[in-house]
A and B are shown apart, each in its own frame.
Chain A
Amino acid sequence: MNNPPHLFTRSTEAFFYNLKPLPLQQMLDYDFICRKAKPSLAGIIHPGRKGFHKAFFGSKEIILPIYSTLQDATTKHPVADVLINFASFRSAYSSSKEALESPTINTVVIVAEGLPERQAKELIALARQKNKWIIGPATVGGIIAGQFRIGHAGGLMENILKAKLYRPGSVGLVSKSGGMMNELFNIIARTTDGINEGIAIGGDAYPGSTLLDHLRRYEANPDIKLLVALSELGGKDEYEIIKAKREGKLTKPLVILVSGTSASIFPWEVQFGHAGAKAGKEEESAEAKNKALREAGIIVPDSFEELEKTIKKTFLSLNLPAKEEINPPGMPLDYNEAVAQGLVRKQTQFTTTISSDIGEEPTYGTIPMSEIIEQNYSVGEVIALLWFKKKLPTYFTKFLELSILLCADHGPAVSGAHNAIVAARAGKDVISALCSGLLTIGPRFGGAIDDAARYFHEAGDKKQDPTNFVEEMKKKGLLIPGIGHRIKSKRNPDKRVELLKQFSQKNFPKTTYLNYALEVEKITLQKAENLILNVDGCIGVLFVDALVSSGKFANEEIKEILEIGYMNGLFALARSIGLIGHILDQKRLNEPLYRQPMEDILYQL
C-alpha cells in the first residue's frame, strides 16, 4: 500500500454510492462550515437511476448529478478519486471491487456491516495490487478536520461545533469503533488542541486498512503531533504496531487502549457486537495486547476512564503553541428541525377533515384501518366515515349499498357505458376509458337522483300540495325529476322500485318524502300510464328520508349535502363498477376501433 499522509484534502472530490440523503447532506454541511468554495461531492451513483438530486450547500440549493453506473460517473468526473460506498452488505463487494479496478478512484470507503470475511479479504488483496486504500467495511467514516467529512462521522452539527472539528488540531485518531468516535472527538477536544484527522476503520476481523496503516499516515503528516488509537480484543494488528514502534517507524507519542478486558471473566468465548471482537487465542485478548503494547513503550491507560487523563498528560508534555481559533459560519437550520423546535410557523395550503396518513397507520376519520378490518366494516359504513364523517345507522348504510347494487350497471347502450366502450375500443387504458364514461354523468344521465332529492325535499318540507307541485313544475316547463319511465308503467311496475319501497318501509324510522313522492305519482299517473316514480326518483327521495330520519344532520347540513352532489357521487361510484366491467369485457374481446356507421348519421350541410 502506498503511504501518503493525506487521503483527503480540502479539494478532494468524492462520489457517493447509493443515494442516502442524510449522510450526503451531512457531508455538504461540513463542507459549508469549513468555508469550502465547492462541495466535496462530485455526484451520486445509484444503479437504475439517472437525473439529479437536490441538496443544500449552506442555504443555497444545489443539484448533484445521479449516475446509474460508476463508469459514467468517473468518465464525467475524472478528478474525483474517492468512493463513499453506502451499498448494502449484499452488494458492497461488487461495487467496491469495480471502484478499486477503476483507474481514477484511489480510496474506497465501505460503510456496510456484515460483509463476508472472504469478500473483505479479496478486496484487500485487490487494493494492495492496485496500490489503493480501503476504509471499512463497517465503518462510520471519519473526519479530516477543516477538510473533508466521510458520511455520518462526527454525528450532529452540534457535536462538530462543540469538538471544533471544523479546524485542524494536532491529534491523529484511529478507532475500530465508529460509535465511539464522537466520544473520542469530545475527549480530545477537552484535553488537546483538537483533532487533525480521525478515522474509524470498522470492527470487522479484516478491516481494509488497519490501525497501523493510519498511524503510519499520521506519522508522516507533520501537522500531527500526537497519535491516539482505540482498539478492541480480537485480531493481531497491535503486534504490527509494536513491530513498527520497535523498528522506529512510529516515533510520535502514541496512546492506545484495547477494550474488551472483561471478556476474560467469562469461561467461554464471547462474541461482542463487532464481528472481529472475539479473542480466539490468548494473544488476541485485550489484556495480552495492552500488556505487549505497554512493554513496547506505547502509552496504555489502565481503563477507558483513565484515557482522558492520559491523553491530557501526554498532550501537555508536548508543549505545543496554542492554535489560532477560527469562527465557523452559522449553519442554516433545516426547516423540519426549525418546526420541531417551534422556531418557525407557516400557513398550510390544504385542509382535510376526512382521513389521515400521518400516524402509525392510516385512518378513516379517526378510525384506524386495522379497526375497519377487524370490526368488519361494510362498504356503506366506510362511505359513512369518508363522505358523511360519522357513523350512520345500519338502515342508512344498507340503503347506500342497495343503491350501489341497483345503479352498478344498466347495459351497454346508455351514454356512460357507450362512451367507455368506444374509448376502450380505441385502445385507451382502463382509467382513460372509465373517465370517458364517467364524464357523461350529469344533468341528463344519472343526474335525476340528485334533482329528485332536491325537488322532493323542498316540496315535502314546504308541505306543498302535490297537485300544486305538479302544476308548478308544468308552468316552469320542467319535467319532474324521478318521474317517468321508458317502458315501465302502473300495470307493469319496476321491480327495483318495489323492492326499495319495501326495504324502506320495513327499515326506515320514517318515509315522509317517499310518501310525498307517491302522492305526486298518483297525480302524474292520471296524466299518463308511464309517469311512475322511477328508480332514480325512489333512490333520491329515500336518500332524503334517510338523512332526515337519522336525526344526525341539521337542516342546513341536509341542504348542503343535496346541493354539493352527494347523489351524483354515489351514482358515479356505483356505475364505475359497470363501466369497468364493460371496459374489461371489450379488452378481453379485443374489439377493434369503433366507427359510427355513416347511415346512422344525418348529414345536412
Chain B
Amino acid sequence: MGRRKIREFDAKRIIADNILQYGKVNLINNAVLIGPETSLENLPQHYPWLSRTKLVVKPDQLFGKRKKLGLVLLEAGWEEAVRWLKEYHNKEVTIGTVTDRLTHFLIEPYISHQEEYYLAITSERDHDIIHFSLQGGMDIEEQWDKVQKIAVPTLQEEVDLDNRIPEQLQPFVKAIFQLYRDLDFTYLEFNPFTLDQQGQVILLDTVAEVDDCAQFRNGKRWGDLPFPPPFGRKSFPEEDYIAKLDEESGASLKLTVLNPQGRIWNILSGGGASIIYLDAIANHGQAGSIANYGEYSGNPTTEESYQYAKTVLDAMTRSPSIPGGKILFIAGAIANFTDVEKTFTGVVRALREYQEKLRAGKVSIFVRRGGPNWEKGLELMKRTGLELRIPMEVSGPEMPMTMMVPKAMEKVR
C-alpha cells in the first residue's frame, strides 16, 4: 500500500523500543493507550504512576492540532483524568469537514518544561530532510523561517549537523535519524520535544508514518502495529478481510468502503484504471453516490476473485435498497496478463450466490474488460446476466474504457 499514519502511542513505543541501538540516548516513554475496551478502574494497578503524578490526556486518532481544538487535558490528577475520559469517550468531534467519535486516548505523565524543540524528518526522492527549530510548539508554521533544514542524501550514512543543532541534542537527533531510515518511517515529527532536568529526552507530541511495504523486513521490530483508518472514515470488516487476502496473495487486492449507503458499487481491475473510472463517475456529477473504491490486479486466482467479488456484493446487498436500484461496475482496462475468463469465473460464482439479493435490490451491472481470454470471459458474463435475470451491459476492448459510465449514469438520474 505505501505510507500509513500510525498512532502516537505506537510511534513512541517503536522509538523507545529501538532507539538504544542507535546511540546512548536517554529517552523516557510512559505512554499508555486507552481504547474502548480499556478498564480505567484497574489501570493504576498496572501503572502506579498514574495516581502519583500529574497527567496529560489527549485523543490518539491520527489527527493533529489537538491543543488548538481544546482536546488536550493538562496537569490533571488521575480522578480528573478519569472524569475527562468518561466525558470525551465516544464524543462526536468535527475536524475540518469530517465528523467522527473519539475512541482512543493517550495518557502520559505531565512534564513541566522550559524548552520546546521542533524536530521533523521527511523523505524526498534523493534525500531525507531533518527539520529542526529551537522554537517548537503550536505556532511552528508561523515560525517556519526559523526552522533549520538539513538535507541528507540517501546514500550518505554520517549526518553532519555542524552547529545547526545544539550539541546536547545531537546524539538524539542522529539516533532518531538512523532509526527513521532503518525502521522504514516515511514521516516523523516531534512538536515539541524537550529535555527534563536529568537531560532525558521526552517526546511531548509525536506524529509518524511508516511504509507498510516494509512489513516483511521490519514487522518484528515494529511489534503489533495497527493501521487505523483516517479520522472520520469508518473501518469496515470487509476492508480488513480484503487486506488479509491481499497479504496472502501474490496478486493485488484492495478495497476501501467510502459510503456504504452509496448507490454506485465497483469491482474494478488495475491500480491506474480504477482511478480513471472513479474520476469518470465523479465527472458525471455522481461522486457522492460512489460506495466503494477498490481494485484487483496481477492475475488473481478464481478463488481470490470470487472472495473479492463476494465481499463487495455482500456489502452492497446488505446496505439499504435505493429506489431505482443500484449500479455495479465490473470494469477494467485491457489487461496485460490478468486472465479475464479465470477472474470472471470467480466473479460469476459470487453473482450466482447473491442473485436473489441482486434482483431484489434492482441492481444493474455494467461490464467492460479486455485482456487474455476476454472473449470467453465476457461471454460467460453475458450468459450469466441472462440466466440470472439481472440487467447487464457487457462490452469489450472495442469500446473505449469509460464509455459505459455515461450510459450507466443515465440510470442514476
Chain A interface residues (CB < 8 Å from chain B): 22-23, 89-90, 113-118, 121-122, 124-126, 128-129, 140, 152-156, 159, 175-183, 186-187, 203-206, 230, 232-233, 259-262, 265-278, 280, 286, 303-305, 308
Supposing A126-B155, A156-B372, A305-B280 touch, asked if A273 and B186 sit within 8 A by C-beta, the answer is: no
A-B pairs with beta carbons under 8 Å apart, 28 shown = A117-B2, A117-B123, A117-B211, A121-B123, A121-B126, A128-B126, A152-B337, A156-B371, A175-B272, A176-B272, A179-B272, A180-B270, A180-B276, A182-B334, A183-B334, A204-B2, A230-B272, A259-B276, A260-B279, A265-B290, A268-B229, A271-B1, A273-B270, A274-B271, A275-B1, A280-B3, A286-B279, A304-B280
CB-defined contacts of A265 to chain B, threshold 8 Å: 282, 287-288, 290
The 5 closest A-B pairs by CB, nearest first: A177-B272, A273-B271, A179-B270, A275-B2, A182-B334
Other A-B pairs beyond A118-B184, A124-B125, A183-B273, 7, CB < 8 Å: A116-B214, A179-B336, A182-B370, A183-B333, A230-B272, A277-B275, A304-B401
| Interface residue SS majority, chain A | loop
Contact B275 A232 (CB under 8 A): yes
Encoded as 1 (CB less than 8 Å from any A CB) or 0, chain B from 269 to 309 comes to: 11111111011111100011010011101100000000000
- Verify if B112 is at the interface (C-beta below 8 Å from A): no
Distance to closest chain B CB from A343 (angstroms): 15
Distance between Cα atoms of A159 and B334 in the complex (Å): 9
**Does the CB pair B256–A270 fall under 8 Å?**
yes
Report chain B residues within 8 Å CB of A278.
2-3
Interface 9-residue window, one of B49-57, B129-137, B230-238: B230-238
Q: Is the CB of B155 within 8 A of A178?
A: no
CA separation between A125 and B98, bound complex, in Å?
Answer: 40
- Residues of A near B231 (CB, < 8 A) are 268
Residue of B at shortest CB range from A181? B336
Is there contact, CB below 8 Å, between B154 and A124?
A: yes
Chain B contact residues, majority secondary structure: mixed
How distant is B101 from chain A, measured CB to nearest CB, in Å? 15
Contact B270 A177 (CB under 8 A): yes
**Would B2 and A270 count as touching, CB distance under 8 A?**
no
Say yes or no: is B48 at the interface (Cβ < 8 Å to chain A). Answer: no
CB distance from A574 to the nearest CB of B (A): 40
Q: Is B252 in the interface zone, CB < 8 Å from A?
A: yes
The CA of A232 and the CA of B229, in the complex, are separated in Å by 22
Bound state CA distance, A118 and B177, in angstroms? 13
Partner of B2, one of A176, A177, A205, A230: A205
Find out whether the CB atom of A152 lies under 8 angstroms from the CB atom of B213: no
**Which of B211, B231, B275, B276: most chain A CB closer than 10 A?**
B275
Q: Give chain B interface residues in 126-148, CB to chain A under 8 Å.
A: 126
Do A125 and B126 touch (CB < 8 A)? yes
Instruction: Report B106-119 CB contacts with A as 1/0, cut-off 8 Å.
Output: 00000000000000
Q: Does B402 contact A (CB under 8 A)?
A: yes
- A contact residues around B332 at 8 Å (CB): 179
B203-215 vs A: 1/0 string, CB under 8 Å? 0000000010110
Q: Is the CB of A183 within 8 A of B256?
A: no
Q: Which residues of B contact A176 (CB under 8 A)?
A: 272
- Closest residue of chain A to B254 (Cβ to Cβ) is A273
Flag if A179 contacts B269 (CB, 8 Å): yes
